[in-house]
Amino acid sequence: MVQGLIFGIFGGLGLFIYGIWVMSEGLQKICGEKMRKILSGLTNNPFKGAMVSAGVTSLTQSSSATTVMTIGFVNANLMTLKQALGIVFGANIGTTITAQLIAFKLTDFALPVIGIGMLMLLFAKKKRTKNIANFVLGFGILFLGLKIMTGAVKPLGDSALFNDIFVSFSRYPVLAILAAAVVTAITQSSSVTTGMVLGLAMANLIDLHAAIPLILGCNIGTCVTALIASIGANVTAKRVAIAHIFFNVLGVIIFFPFISLLQTFAVASSDYLPRQIANVHTLFNVVTTLIFLPFVGQYATALMKVFKGKEEEEFDYMPKYLEPHLLSTPPIAIDAVKKETVRTLELTKKMINLAMESFYKNNPKSLDKITRGEEAVDSMREAVTNYLVDLMGEELTRAQSQKIPVLLHVINDVERIGDHAENLRDLAEQKIDSGLKLSDKAFEECKKIHEEVDLMIDSTIESLKANNIHEARVVLKLEERINSMREMFKDNHIHRLEDGKCDALSGVVFLDLISNFEKIADHLDNVAQKVIDGLQWEQRQKSIA
């Protein structure tokens, strides 16, 4: 009996957790990128943020996933603390959908659902269909795990010791809250703990009075995932994680004196115990969110005052100059695009320098920042492109019309530089992880080509800022030098290999590195050439006039 109990609980719980994971993975692959764009594009309206977040979380089946994603956006300065708070609050509402789904009597349909999901997976050819199949399969596995777990624990109803434990939970609800918080912290999913509570209820092992404190405790334990995600992040991201903890703890404190009232509501809402528990879970999260939402601004201010720290602004790359009202004045709008493009190019320079700092010092600390920077560059390219498309709808002179395709090409070249900066990041990571060592000469050559590209970016920035044709020509000359350096360094590398001064794997990393720098130089050359061509075209038009 003991063996069957242990195997049933662990096996059922394992299937239950795996089912949630497979279902969430399938949903996130179906529409994960859209979710990221929706979340990162939210306005400063916390009510809108909460509603969208609740919807996204109900699809991903994980408030932790939404909160961790939000911390990532905040850490990349793609979102403010105030925006993030609205999303965190809304995530708690979205996660209650899991409890509502489990409360349906679907355990008897677990096996046919798994069969349908597996058939879909076997015969699916399109990626989207496979993701949908994974969702269906995960859904079925979730309920199969719940059925096994419920069946395994049912005999415990005859155990005096087990009944005494849950009687204690009824008498000492604080103990139940702490127990649920600990279990949720370990599993890093309130959905898992909620499912366990509902499973115990289905087996008639706990009553409503014992279940309510357990449900309240789940909300505290789920904050651990966000706290872990904030380790090593900037101070604002840490504040989001702390805000999540205080939000749930204060919510439990507010509701704690009204447990009997919650019980009355639950009984009135349904005759089925699992549904009563799910309804309490939903009510708690909805009411707590509604209490906090009007005070998001004050909450954010309080967090900044209490949890002080050095603000990191280096990744604050949401559009700064692309104001919609400027579109009616095309010359100013074009200037705004140039300023935004310069800011994006400055970001790529920081990314390159961070990658090379890690490469030189074997320090992986900055590598995650580069990935977030690349996402910011992609976001900026999209913002600039959309702004230029909107500008095309205005009344433009011939000269202004000619500038739009040029600026589109420039921002695309800048975005490609960001891609190569991420390649440098990968090479730095490979060097660190594999413990690769370069010869002193190879190291010196890496620094030389890096310094040349750094100068080239500075000159490109100056040429863009003021249509400086002199700086643009400097860029063209530097590009020629970098091409020569690449060929020379390749020859030097071959000689080092022949002399046994360099191993093959380190050599591959070295060659990839200088190749990426040469490609960065090509894109900078394209930008400089666009500046020169644009100025020459303007001069020709003036001479014709």
pLDDT tens-digit series, residues 44-73: 567 777 777 777 666 555 566 567 667 666
**Mean pLDDT value of segment 351-372:** 86
Query: Which CATH number does 324-544 carry?
Result: 1.20.58.220
Distance from C-alpha of 358 to C-alpha of 431, rounded to nearest angstrom: 10
What is the pLDDT of the chain when averaged over all its residues? 79
Q: Please report which confidence band the pLDDT of residue 512 belongs to, taking 50, 70 and 90 as the band edges.
A: very high
Q: Please report which confidence band the pLDDT of residue 20 belongs to, taking 50, 70 and 90 as the band edges.
A: low
Q: Please report which confidence band the pLDDT of residue 2 belongs to, taking 50, 70 and 90 as the band edges.
A: low
* SS3 annotation, 16-77: HHHHHHHHHHHHHHHHHHHHHHHHHCCCCCHHHHHHHHHHHHHHHCCHHHHHHHHHHHHHCC
pLDDT tens-digit series, residues 121-168: 888 888 778 888 887 888 788 778 767 765 665 565 455 555 566 556
Confidence (pLDDT) at 151 = 67
Q: How is the chain split into domains, by residue range?
A: 2-152+160-306, 324-544
Q: Which residues contact 274 (CB under 8 A, 6 or more apart)?
A: 102, 103, 198, 201, 202
Q: Please report which confidence band the pLDDT of residue 260 belongs to, taking 50, 70 and 90 as the band edges.
A: confident
HSE-up (13 A, CA, CB side) for residue 545: 7
Conformational region of residue 231, where left means phi above 0, alpha means psi within -120 to 50, and beta covers everything else: beta
Confidence (pLDDT) at 313 = 45
Confidence (pLDDT) at 9 = 67
For the cut 80, the answer to whether the pLDDT of residue 544 exceeds it is no
Confidence (pLDDT) at 275 = 85
Q: Per-residue b/e over 34-50, b at no fewer than 16 CB within 10 Å?
A: ebbeebbebeeebeebb
Confidence (pLDDT) at 419 = 93
